[in-house]
Structure 1
Amino acid sequence: MLTWLEYALACTQKSTVFYANIYAVNLAEDDAGFKNSFAQADLVFCDGQGLRLGAALLGRPLPERFTPPDWIHRLAASCATHGYGIFLLGGEPGVATTAAARLIERHPGLRVASHHGYLSPDPLVEAAALEAIAAFQPALLLVGMGMPTQERWVTARRTDLAVPVVMTVGALFDYLAETVPRGPRWLTDHGFEWLCRLWYEPRRLWRRYLLGIPRFFGLMLRQKITPRG
């Protein structure tokens, strides 16, 4: 994954990178536009052990799970070495700024800029964000607005973004800024990151996990019994 990103950054050709998990599959089942956004991406990577289990159930095993919080610092170190700027777009006001500061603190010399992710309903706010991105001229734009907002925004604005690599990252900025705690590695590395997130944000996420996980595996079973291609 990191090798692919480093190659894409070096080529400077436009690449769009999305991550997929159980929630993404459920959203795609209900939203054709969201599903089409994924079809337009240059790379979609697995960010969830549940998705790996579902793929294995269908006889299409995925080699491993990648999740941005696990490798963001390796990517940042590579960007610092090669002089690639990173722009963080997303989160509540102040979160991306703090996340950027944490990256700079850990990777001296890294060029990082940021803007919050509350771009609507005021078009002037979005225009200001686009101007900030254009002025900074990053090699990598990380978009953390949560699904499905981030995918819709990237798909709608990709032609306006003169950025080699645009990648969605979900709650990454919250983890970097430590506004939302991440679970212990012995849980997150063994398929229970969803449980940690549910514990910390039950009101916001209970439907996604308590209803979404059974629904996903129901979809996988249906696909196994009656393949749709």
Structure 2
Amino acid sequence: MSNNNDIEAIDLLGVRIHSLSMNELNEYLVESIRDNKKCTLANVNIHAMNLAYENAWFRDFLNESAINFCDGEGVRLGAKMKGKKIREKITYNRWIWSLGELSQRLGLTWYLLGATEKSISKAVATLRGKYPELKIVGYHNGFVDSDSLPLILSEIKEKSPNILCLGMGMPLQEKFLIDHSDKINYNIALTGGAVFDYVSGEFKMTPDIYYRLKLEWFYRFINDPKRLFKRYFVGIPIFFLRLLFIKSRSKS
């Protein structure tokens, strides 16, 4: 499993997306750490797909990542339109707890980077409260400037975490890895977006009913309409129009 060639992948708008379960993702992560690999496991949703379509550097980042797992129903539907199946949607606000339990059990070390100082501090306290033996070797908020950057890079290099979890939002977290990955030590880099805000309670966890109805995006929107209106009510139609355009062009 540590070879990503063994995992089914599809191409959607020029982005490679892997079809795997949460258990298989955990297995790949653990085996990669045991093999002392250095790689990125990236999440792909419609926002990521739109960024990749419009920015070649972002598309290259995703296609150079070891794994791109699907964390949005829209991407699964897009794959279905191409006659492909993505087996499972894996969202950080649920996966983080499975990963925390697994990391505590195996003694994996974490470094967390992202969110506000209030949110990241609360997230660390929550994780340590739920997993007392989880080894969080360092953390820092996501407001990185010329003064704090050298200290952050030095600490991550020194701590050499098994898991470097970034919660800076797209595309800042991806740009951080492109610019600085060669200066720091880690096994697995995760692009976690708003994960620390969910762990800390700053963002509300999606109720199960919305999750089952595949309406997580709508619940997020009604809780943060100003920030998410363009992403959802402009970004989602654009994504599907692009798919339909390419599909119609291939038939002509």
Range 179-188 or range 49-58, more displaced: 179-188
Report the CA distance shift for 1:189/1:142 in structure 2 as closer, same or farther (over 3 A).
farther
Which secondary structure state, in structure 1, belongs to the residue aligned with residue 86 of structure 2? coil
Q: 1:210 aligns with which of 233, 242, 248?
A: 233
Percent identity of paired positions between Structure 1 and Structure 2: 32
The residue that corresponds to 1:95 in the other structure is 119
Q: 2:181 aligns with which of 122, 145, 158?
A: 158
Contact 2:158 2:185 in 1 (8 A): no
Q: 2:159 aligns with which of 136, 140, 146?
A: 136
Which secondary structure state, in structure 2, belongs to the residue aligned with residue 62 of structure 1? coil
Higher relative contact order (CA 8 A, sep 6+): 1
Q: Which runs of structure 1 show a deviation greater than 3 angstroms over 4 or more consecutive aligned residues?
A: none
2:87 equivalent to 1:63: yes
Amino acid at match of 1:40: E
Range 184-193 or range 38-47, more displaced: 184-193
Report the CA distance shift for 1:66/1:80 in structure 2 as closer, same or farther (over 3 A).
same
Contact 1:182 1:196 in 2 (8 A): no
The residue that corresponds to 1:127 in the other structure is 150
2:79 equivalent to 1:39: no
Deviation at 1:183, TM superposition (A): 2.0
The residue that corresponds to 1:82 in the other structure is 106
2:134 equivalent to 1:110: yes
Amino acid at match of 2:221: L
Q: TM-score, normalised by structure 1?
A: 0.94
> Which whole-Å CA distance do the structure 2 matches of 1:199 and 1:181 have between them?
11
> Which whole-Å CA distance do the structure 2 matches of 1:60 and 1:217 have between them?
15
The residue that corresponds to 1:29 in the other structure is 53
Q: TM-score, normalised by structure 2?
A: 0.86
Q: 1:180 aligns with which of 203, 209, 212?
A: 203
> Which whole-Å CA distance do the structure 1 matches of 2:214 and 2:27 have between them?
24
Which secondary structure state, in structure 2, belongs to the residue aligned with residue 123 of structure 1? coil
2:235 equivalent to 1:219: no
Range 154-163 or range 128-137, more displaced: 128-137
Q: CA RMSD in A?
A: 1.5
Unaligned runs of 5+ in 1: none
The residue that corresponds to 2:29 in the other structure is 5
Which secondary structure state, in structure 1, belongs to the residue aligned with residue 111 of structure 2? strand
